């Protein structure tokens, strides 16, 4: 895709690439590009209108807030505290340990999530089954 863009943005490369095309094919390409450019201009105009309408609504709401004695900072503070409460509710605690084993005489645990600890893997290879280490 990058080469495609480089060719179309460089007149010299574009000439070399289109040299093999007939005039009728070039005119057909021109019609298609003109259509695409017109569609893009219309879409950009609609987007600009939407942005202007949104800005006008925001200005209107800001005026209503000032008329009612509410500052924008107070309104933002209200949404921040609500978001913070929701964020705190979604946090979960650490998973409980599922397996216990000894490493150098020191008791260790593993939740069963992620890679198996190497000392547990070595002990399991000697003894056989991981069920022996269930808590």
Helices 72-90 and 23-67: crossing angle, nearest 10°? 110
Question: Does residue 83 have a pLDDT over 70?
Answer: no
Q: Classify 116 as helix, strand or coil.
A: coil
85-112, pLDDT tens digit by residue? 666 666 778 888 888 888 888 888 888 8
Domain-wise residue ranges, the chain: 2-90, 99-133
Beta carbons of 95 and 111 less than 8 angstroms apart: yes
Q: Which CATH superfamily is domain 2-90 in?
A: H-NS histone-like proteins (1.10.287.1050)
What gap in Å lies between CA 98 and CA 93, rounded to an integer?
15
DSSP lists the bridge partners of residue 109 as 100
Residue identified by tokens 């978001």 is 83
Q: What is the pLDDT of residue 85?
A: 63
Hey, which CATH number is domain 99-133, 3.30.50, 4.10.430, 2.40.128, 1.20.58?
4.10.430
Q: Which helix (H) or strand (E) holds 101?
A: strand 99-103
Residue identified by tokens 């009612």 is 68
**What is the b/e burial string over 66-75, where b = at least 16 CB atoms within 10 angstroms of the residue's CB?**
eeeeeeeeee
Average pLDDT of every residue of the chain: 86
């Amino acid at each position: 895709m990058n080469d495609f863009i480089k060719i179309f943005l460089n007149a010299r490369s574009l000439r070399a690439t289109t040299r093999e095309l007939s005039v009728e094919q070039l005119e057909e390409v021109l019609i298609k590009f003109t259509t695409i450019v017109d569609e893009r201009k219309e879409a950009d105009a609609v987007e600009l209108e939407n942005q202007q309408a949104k800005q006008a609504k925001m200005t209107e709401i800001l005026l209503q807030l000032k008329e009612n004695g509410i500052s924008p900072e107070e309104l933002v503070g209200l949404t921040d505290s609500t978001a913070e409460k929701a964020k705190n509710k979604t946090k979960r605690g650490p998973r409980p340990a599922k397996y216990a084993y000894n490493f150098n005489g020191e008791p260790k645990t593993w939740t069963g999530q992620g890679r198996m600890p190497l000392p547990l893997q070595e002990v399991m290879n000697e003894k056989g089954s991981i069920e022996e280490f269930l808590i």
